[in-house]
Structures are given as C-alpha cells and as structure tokens.
Structure 1
Amino acid sequence: MPNEDKTKKKTDVSVSRRNFLKKSGYVLGGVLAGGVIGSLVNAGGKNPPSANPQQPTSTPSDYNQALMYFRQDQFRIVEAATERIFPGDDIGPGAKALGVAFFIDHQLAGDWGFNGRDYMQPPFYKGEAVQGYQGRLKRREIFDIALQEMQNYSQSKYKKGFVDLTPEQQDAVLTAFEKDEVKLTTVSPSGFFRMLRNATIEGVYADPLYGGNKNMDGWKLKNYPGNQMAYTQIIDKDEFTKIPPKSLKDHLH
C-alpha cells in the first residue's frame, strides 16, 4: 500500500507538471494574450475562459516624443518659451500641444545642433546682420548657455525659475532677450531669440516625422495639405479644395 501511494503521488505530480507546461506553452507561443493569460492558468476549473474576453483599451504611445539631447529642466524651459512664442488659443493648439520642444530637441541632437553643414573654421569676425551668426559655438552649445542665462535672468529679476513665471513675466524675459537688454558675454541674446523663434515656427509646420506638428494640427491651422503624392483629382477645379493633410509616413503603405 505505501508503494501504491507513492506511485499515485508521483503520477499526479507528473500529470500536473505536464498540464502546466502545456498551458505555459500556449502562452509563450503567442496563442493567447492579454487578459486571457490569467484565465488560461485556471482553465482546469468549471468556468472556462470566455471566447471573446473584454480587452482593455489604451491610447497608442507616440515614441517620437522622447528626449535625445535636452535635460528635463532644459526641455521644460524650451517648452514654456515656445508656448509663449506660439501660444494656443481658440483657433488651435500652441507649441506645447504640437510637440515643438521635441522637434527642437531632435534637431539639436543631429546635424543642425552640431552645425554639421556649416563652415566653422577660424578666424571668426562679427558678421553683418544679413550674414547671421559668425562664431565658434555650435547651436547646441548656444542653447545650453542661453537657457541657463534665461534661468539666471528670471531668478535675478523675479526670484523664480522661468517655468514658474506668469505668462506675462515669461514674455518680459523673452522680450529682454529679443532687445538685447540682457547683458551676456558668451552669446548674443537677440541672436538666440531669433534662433529659438525660427525653430519654433519650423516645429509647428514641419512634417510630424521630425517630432513637432503633432497630429498634423499645425498644417490643419493653415489648411495645408502636407505631402500629397498628386493633385490630379482637383487640378482643374476653380474653387478652393480642402484636403486632409498627409505626412511622409502616410506614403509608406
């Protein structure tokens, strides 16, 4: 009798282990997913899993909105500053909702930030207004210095960081940079402001592929069609035709 009990227990363990491995194989093999996995483990009970389980809904993540260059504190300053340059209103979203700060971050992480296509060899002389920036600093270095100086100026004038200022105070800080009222020795305040403003506008209207113009809402503000492959269906029409915009990504399918 004792031997029979041992044999029975051994058989039960073997069967149980085999069932577990079998069920685990279904899970690992991808036959079942989501909320069904929990039901599968208990499949030996009296209540089998539903054939049409309720799947939780979730909003797809925008993996293009990730920092490539900025620190978190720098990103928040740029996000607040660009929102004052291109604020949201009743007509449409502003720079923050459009992801403009991500666009600038991505640009600084690439050739634009490294001045990869600019001649950067000395000697350096102050250029004419029409020539733009003439110096040794790369754009990413200019942003690093200027953002810190914006923070310093905000602290000295309002005893708060730029992000914590009221919209009116943020406008005053940006205006001080635009008019060269901030005295800096390393970078031109007005030169940085122009660079920031230009980058903001580019982020509003560039293809969403580059991080800004989220959901093509910047294009929708202007009824801009984006990257259409052809206009043959409307080329002969006299009246204005509104076309849903398309991104470069839309032509991959």
Structure 2
Amino acid sequence: MTKRQSKQPVDESRRKFLKYSGAALGGAVVGGVIGGLVGSNLNKSAKEAPTPQESEETPTARDQDYNHALMFFSQEQFQTTEAAAERIYPKDDNGPGAQELGVAFFIDHQMAGAYGFNAREYMSPPFYKAEASQGYQLTFKRRELLALGLDALNEYSEQKHNKKFYKLSPEEQDAVLTAFEKDEVDLKDVPASAFFAMLRNLTIEGAYADPLYGGNRNMDGWRMRNYPGNQMSFTEEIEKEEFIKMEPLSLRDHLQTS
C-alpha cells in the first residue's frame, strides 16, 4: 500500500452567506463539517469577538486547537486510525505522510459531522443486496462502519500478533490491512473490504482537503502536488503559457482577511 491583513468585522449579509453556504461547500469537497465550523465561528456578533488586545491567541492558534481536538474517536480509535492512515499514505521522499498531515483528525471530524451520520442519504429499510456499481448501500452509518472496522483491526491484530494494530511493525500492519482489503476478515455481516475502501478514501481526502477540515496540515499535501488551493482569482496568470507555481491558500485565509 503506497501512495504515490485586515481584520474588520464581517458584515451581516456576508456572515449569513458563509453560514448557509457552508453545507454546500462541505458536500462539494467531501460532505464535511464546514457548515458547523464556519457557522459556529461566524455566528457570533462582532462585539462578542475578542479584539487582538483582549486575547493573546492568534486566529491560527485557535484554528489549530480546534483542528487537533477529537470529536468522535476514543484515544485508541484515534491511534489505530493514525497508524492505518500512515501505512496507506506513508511518508517518503516526496513529502510527509498521513500522520504529519493530520489525516486522523480530518477523519475524526468527518465522522462527527453530517457525513459520518449519512445525513443526506436515504437510510431506511427495506435493504437489498446492491450491485458493486451502486456504491455504498450498507445499513451502517459511516461512523458505525468505521468504529466497527477499527475495533476489528485491533482484534485481528491481537489474534495474529498479540498486539494492538498501532503497536505492530509497519510490515505487520501492511499484512493486516491487506487481509481486510481482500475480505479475509469476518466483519459481522459487513465486507471487510468496504471498511478498508472507506478508510483509504478518507485518508486520501484528508491529505488533500482544505486544512479547514482538519487534515492537509500546513497545506503540505497541496504543496506536494503544486496545487494552489483556494485562490480567489487567476486573472493575472490565466493568459501565461508557462507553469506558475503559487503559494497555496486555504478557506481559512479568506475568512481571516474578510
């Protein structure tokens, strides 16, 4: 498994736009929690927000605290996710791996939000066996499937190696993940490969999603791809024929300068 400033108060109309467009943005990226994040950050009036003189915390520091706070995982689930994601997207000569990019925090935040609850999907019975081309059709919510799979990773690891998954060697972790990928593990009426596929997709999303969601720390995932991130305009570059390398910008950068 291998990979590869102005700080004036925001006017009320812009505040409402950001609050109610957050859910749409989240769905476009990975169905994330930007609606809750942006809404909770911007729903306070300007007079309630501390001024730079009232607080020594910078916006970046507050955002980092938020992004590195667990919302769904237990500590063991977090450690297991972090270890598994690192094997799926390991550090190499191209750049940092999933652990340095904060992918496990991204996954945690996704499971705590609407995406983890399958809030925008029909989840009522009757349930029928789906064709492979129909995508996710299980009765489990994503957060339930992920928790079930993480517990199974540790149970299987203890059966095979007498250790929790996150305490295994990289080679042993690869073997365990491969067993899940090939459906060699019984996962309580759920294909183990379904759990592995979801974990793999979430890992890649966490490496490249906007840092506002908790992963892609310092935009290093984008830098490895020379991706410019969320630039507001390309009017000065669009006519140029040569490749232009730009310092990436995140959604947070625009929120802080609004």
Q: TM-score, normalised by structure 1?
A: 0.75
Report if the CA contact (8 A) 1:145-1:187 is conserved.
Answer: no
1:135 aligns with 2:133: no
More RCO (CA 8 Å, sep 6+): 2
1:156-235 equivalences in 2 (<5 Å): 156-235=159-238
Q: Paired residue for 2:109?
A: 106
Deviating beyond 6 angstroms after TM superposition, the runs of 4 or more aligned structure 1 residues are none
> Structure 1 residue 60: deviation in Å?
4.5
Structure 2 unaligned segments of length 5 or more: list them: 1-52
| Paired residue secondary structure (1:118) | coil
CA distance in structure 2 between the partners assigned to 1:118 and 1:72 by the alignment: 29
Measure how far apart 1:133 and its partner are. Answer: 2.4
Counterpart in the other structure of 2:16: none
Amino acid corresponding to residue 214 of structure 1 in structure 2: R
Per the TM alignment, residue 249 of structure 1 is displaced from its structure 2 partner at its CA by 1.1
> 8 Å contact 1:179–1:190 — kept in the other structure?
yes
CA distance in 2, matches of 1:131, 1:224: 31
Unaligned runs of 5+ in 1: 1-30, 35-58
Q: In structure 1, how many angstroms separate the alpha carbons of the residues matched to 2:69 and 2:85? A: 17
Say yes or no: does 1:150 pair with 2:153: yes
Which of structures 1 and 2 has the bigger CA Rg? 1
Q: 1:123 aligns with which of 121, 126, 129?
A: 126
Q: Does 1:248 align with 2:251?
A: yes
Task: State the one-letter code of the partner of 2:159.
Answer: S
Match of 1:73 in 2: 76
Helix, strand or coil: the match of 2:193?
Answer: helix
2:71 is paired with a residue of what secondary structure?
Answer: coil
**Aligned residue identity for 1:125:** Y
Which secondary structure state, in structure 2, belongs to the residue aligned with residue 135 of structure 1?
coil
Cα RMSD of the aligned pairs, angstroms, is 1.7
Equivalent residue letter for 2:172? Q
Count of residues in Structure 1 that have an aligned counterpart in Structure 2: 198
Could you tell me which of 212, 215, 240 is aligned with 1:237? 240
